[in-house]
Amino acid sequence: MLKTLGAQIKEYKNASIATPVFMLLEVLMETIIPLLMASIIDDGVNKGDTHHIYITGIWMIAAALLSLTFGCLGARFGAKASMGLGRNLRKAMFERIQTFSFANIDKYNTSGLVTRLTTDVTNCQNAYQMILRMCMRAPASLICAMAMSFFISPRIASIYLIAVIILGGLLILITLTAMRYFQQAFVKYDDLNESVQENVSAIRVVKAYVRENFEKEKFKKASANIRKLLVKAENVVVWNTPLMQFTVYSCIILISWVGAKMVVGGSLKTGDLMALLTYCMNILMSLMMLSMVFVMISMSGASAKRICEVLTEECALKNPEHPVYEVSDGSVRFDHVTFSYSATSETPVLNDINLTIQSGETIGIVGGTGSSKSSLVNLISRLYDVNEGAVYVGGKDVRDYDMKSLRNQVSVVLQNNVLFSGTILDNLRWGNKNATDEECIEACRQACADEFIQQFPDQYNTHIEQGGTNVSGGQKQRLCIARALLKKPKILILDDSTSAVDTATDARIRKAFREAIPGTTKFIIAQRISSVQDADHIIVLNDGKLDGFGTHEELLNTNAIYRDVYESQTKGGGDFDEGGAA
């Protein structure tokens, strides 16, 4: 874990090295000041040497200014290093997530990833700053102060040693107890973020069903769980201060009592006693700092582990050693394909699929809900890898292609149409960032989107809200289709992507496809028979198995499922979850 996080320090190594160096120098100056103060009292005040007081006082001021300077520099470089680490961790995680396959993404929920990129990174960067500054300053201050105390008076310094051992044991116990609660609390942040995310993204559904109170209670429960654990942790940590104060004051009383006797007896000077009292505070405050460092590290331990899970997650899909970069055509062949989302699953999602599709054909895919229609087309662009068999595109196994090159030639319009905040042109250019305005307009004409875009006051410069909330479902679908067409792909996949448009517009879109992109292989997943009946071939899936493959007329004569659904739809609007679908 430390190696993974340490690799993200990168360009902030110099700042990470400079911080503890300046902290050591600050401690050195602070250690010298009590000795100078003792010299002023013993060799200046007691002897009436004004010159010595002035000279030593100047040295004390110089030491204090140097201590302040070194402390400020340590704080500056520490902040730079820790903020830099946070920046690099966020960047590394975000870039890592972009490389994930669907199989990798399925392991994490969105709220968990958001927590890792925000709260967890903040915890780690705060802990890193504490480590660079306090983990160096506190031990160094303790060691230096303890050494100087033994140098002045071993008898009195033994009081420090006993206090340090007792207090150190108690602080370790407090830290270990608090650590358990902090680790549990930060995991609960996922539930809190999930509650907020679901509520905001689905606010229209919440209001439509008048479920505001339910959402409030869900958020309140998640927030209360975090509060409960953090309060438990703080109730343990709060013992740090009283224990520290009790130890400090006890040490001061003992030192004053023993030291006064030694001063009266002549075995200790008055200035040395004052220096010992100062070192007492340094030693015990160093322990206090160390305890807070341990608490911060314990708080960030769980966060660091969750960050490393993302950074070390191995992508389930990898490019071959010598990838193919050119896709020759849009032909597709499924060769005894069996697929399941989990390696431990007993029942495959797709079972022994054999299909051959020629380049330029239009293929309809129909079947009931859960018949694995989307799973089938996801294998074409290698969003998942098959468990058995192979999928061939352009005559080559998809696993032999460079994934970026393959996906650039396979445009997919998913069931969940997503638009991003920005203008219509900005969204369209997700398909081709270099597309001209004319190319965008032509793609929209083919997708039958131009007609409604022209009615907007700003037309193609109309702003789209995040998620496309200011356009209708049908408009969103047509914009997503236009975006896919701009890629000029060899294979176009429409995953139930015209379900929100009327049948007349659906027919016009399909007609435009036939005329404008005849060489592109088109896969159309649909529930309406009318959307696929003029396709070259139609695939009928049932429970992950190929139940039929042929033209509309052939399937009407040979496939019971297809025939039953066709008859139910022509008589009264049935779909593949009714009639013959099993």
Q: What is the dihedral of CA 171, 176, 180, 186, to 10 degrees?
A: 60
Residue 430: Cβ within 10 Å count: 17
Residue 473: is its pLDDT beyond 70? yes
pLDDT (0 to 100) of residue 194: 72
- 318 by DSSP, 3-state: which? coil
Distance CA 181, CA 232 (A): 7
494 close to 482: Cβ distance less than 8 angstroms? no
When computed from its CA atoms, the radius of gyration of the chain, rounded to whole angstroms, is: 35
Paired tokens of 249: 């004051």
List of residues 6+ apart from 398 with CB closer than 8 A? 379, 380, 381, 382, 390, 391, 392, 406
Tell me the DSSP string of 81-103.
HHHHHHHHHHHHHHHHHHH--HH
- 316: helix, coil or strand? coil
Lowest mean pLDDT across 90-104, 148-162, 289-303: 289-303
415 compared with 450, residue with greater pLDDT: 450
**pLDDT tens, position by position, 176-213:** 777 777 777 766 776 777 777 777 767 777 777 787 78
Q: Measure Cα distances from 297 to 16, 33, 129, 384 in Å.
A: 17, 31, 11, 39
Across residues 68-95, what is the average pLDDT? 88
State how far the Cα of 383 lies from the Cα of 393, in Å rounded to an integer.
Answer: 14
Q: What's the pLDDT at 65?
A: 92
- Statement: residue 171 has pLDDT above 80: no
For residue 391, give the DSSP letter.
E
pLDDT in tens, 335-356: 888 888 876 677 888 888 888 8
Mean pLDDT check: name the lowest of 15-29, 142-156, 294-308, 503-517. Answer: 294-308
Tens-digit pLDDT profile for residues 364-411 = 888 887 788 888 888 888 888 888 889 999 888 888 888 888 888 888
Domains of the chain, with CATH numbers?
A: 2-311 (1.20.1560.10), 320-409+491-499+523-582 (3.40.50.300), 411-488 (3.40.50.300)
β-bridge pairing 545-550 and 537-542: antiparallel
Residue 579, pLDDT > 50, answer no
Q: What is the pLDDT of residue 581?
A: 38
* Sign of torsion over alpha carbons 396, 397, 402, 403: positive
Within a 10 A sphere around the Cβ of 150, how many other Cβ atoms?
16
Q: What is the mean pLDDT of the chain?
A: 81
Distance CA 439, CA 424 (A): 13
φ/ψ bin of 423: left (φ > 0), alpha (ψ from -120 to 50), beta (otherwise): beta
How far is 473 from 266, CA to CA, in rounded Å? 93
Quick: pLDDT tens for 499-509: 767 778 878 88
List the end-to-end C-alpha distance of the chain, in Å, as a whole number. 49
**Beta bridge partners of residue 521, listed in sequence order:** 491
Cβ within 8 Å of residue 106, ≥6 positions away: 341
